C-alpha cells in the first residue's frame, strides 16, 4: 500500500484541453521533478493520504455529481502513481492525468494530457493530447510535433503582469490548423 502526498482536492470546471468545460474533481498531488521558472504551483504543502483516504475524499466530492470526470494534476502526479495500485476504479466516469511527460503513466489512466516543457521530449509513449504553452521561440519545436498521433493544443502564455500572448497564439493556430487553441476557461469564468 502506497502513501500519496496531496496538495488539494476540489470540485470545479476543467478549464483546459479537450475536456474544457467538463465538471471535474481535481486531485492535485504535491511535488514535481522539474523546476520551471514560470511555475505557479505551490509544491511545498501536502497531506499524506492512504489510498482509502484519497478515494474517500474524491467519492465525497463525486456524490451527486455522477457524470463528473476526475483529473489528476500537480505538481507531477505521475511521480506518485503506480501500475500495481490503480486508483478510483469502479466509481469514476473518466480518469484524466495532466503530466509533464517525463514519467511513465500507469495503464489504468483513461486520458493522458502531456504538457511538454520544450527542452524535454515527452517519454509517455501515446499521449491523447499535447498542450504547449505558447512561446514563439519554440515554434520549430511545435512544428516538429505536427505528425504526432494526438490532439495538439496551443495555450497562450499568461504572464505574471496579467497580459498574455493570446493574439500571437491565435495567429499561429490560424496559420497551422493541425493545432487547436486552448484558453484557460476556468480563469475566464472565475473558478479554480
Ligand atoms: S512541470 Fe509543471 S508543475 Fe512541474 S515545475 Fe514545471 S510547471 Fe511546475
Question: What CATH number should be reported for the domain holding residue 107?
Answer: 3.20.20.70
| Helix spans in the chain (H) | 51-62, 139-144, 166-175, 185-188
User: pTM of the full predicted structure?
Assistant: 0.93
Q: Quick one: which atom of ligand 1 is closest to the CA of 40?
A: 8
| pLDDT(38) > 80 | no
Rounded Cα distance, 192 and 185, in Å: 10
Q: How confident is the model at residue 66 (pLDDT cuts 50, 70, 90)?
A: confident
Q: List the domain range (segments joined by +) for residue 26.
A: 3-188
Which residue is associated with the grid cell 469564468? 189
Q: What's the structural domain count of the chain?
A: 1
- CA-based nearest residue to 43, from 72, 81, 8, 82: 8
**Residue 41 falls in the annotated catalytic set:** yes
Phi, psi of 75 (to 5 degrees): 50, -160
Which residue is associated with the grid cell 473518466? 94
Rounded Cα distance, 67 and 65, in Å: 6
> What integer best gives the mean pLDDT of the chain?
92
Among 26, 28, 36, 77, which is best to mutate for testing ligand 1, by the most ligand atoms less than 8 A from CB?
A: 36
Cell triple for 11: 470540485
Task: Check residue 162 and give its pLDDT.
Answer: 84
Cell triple for 122: 515527452
Amino acid at each position: 500500500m502506497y502513501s500519496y502526498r496531496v496538495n488539494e482536492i476540489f470540485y470545479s470546471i476543467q478549464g483546459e484541453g479537450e475536456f474544457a468545460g467538463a465538471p471535474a474533481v481535481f486531485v492535485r498531488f504535491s511535488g514535481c521533478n522539474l523546476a520551471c521558472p514560470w511555475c505557479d504551483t505551490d509544491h511545498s504543502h501536502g497531506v499524506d493520504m492512504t489510498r482509502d483516504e484519497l478515494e474517500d475524499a474524491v467519492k465525497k466530492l463525486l456524490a451527486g455529481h455522477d457524470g463528473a470526470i476526475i483529473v489528476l494534476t500537480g505538481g507531477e502526479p505521475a511521480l506518485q502513481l503506480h501500475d500495481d495500485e490503480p486508483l478510483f476504479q469502479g466509481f469514476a466516469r473518466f480518469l484524466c492525468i495532466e503530466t509533464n511527460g517525463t514519467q511513465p503513466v500507469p495503464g489504468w489512466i483513461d486520458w493522458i494530457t502531456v504538457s511538454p516543457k520544450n527542452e524535454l521530449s515527452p517519454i509517455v509513449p501515446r499521449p491523447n493530447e499535447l498542450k504547449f504553452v505558447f512561446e514563439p521561440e519554440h515554434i520549430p519545436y511545435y512544428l516538429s510535433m505536427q505528425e504526432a498521433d494526438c490532439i495538439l493544443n496551443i495555450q497562450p502564455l499568461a504572464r505574471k503582469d496579467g497580459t498574455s500572448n493570446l493574439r500571437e497564439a491565435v495567429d499561429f493556430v490560424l496559420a497551422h490548423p493541425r493545432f487547436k487553441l486552448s484558453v484557460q476557461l476556468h480563469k475566464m469564468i472565475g473558478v479554480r
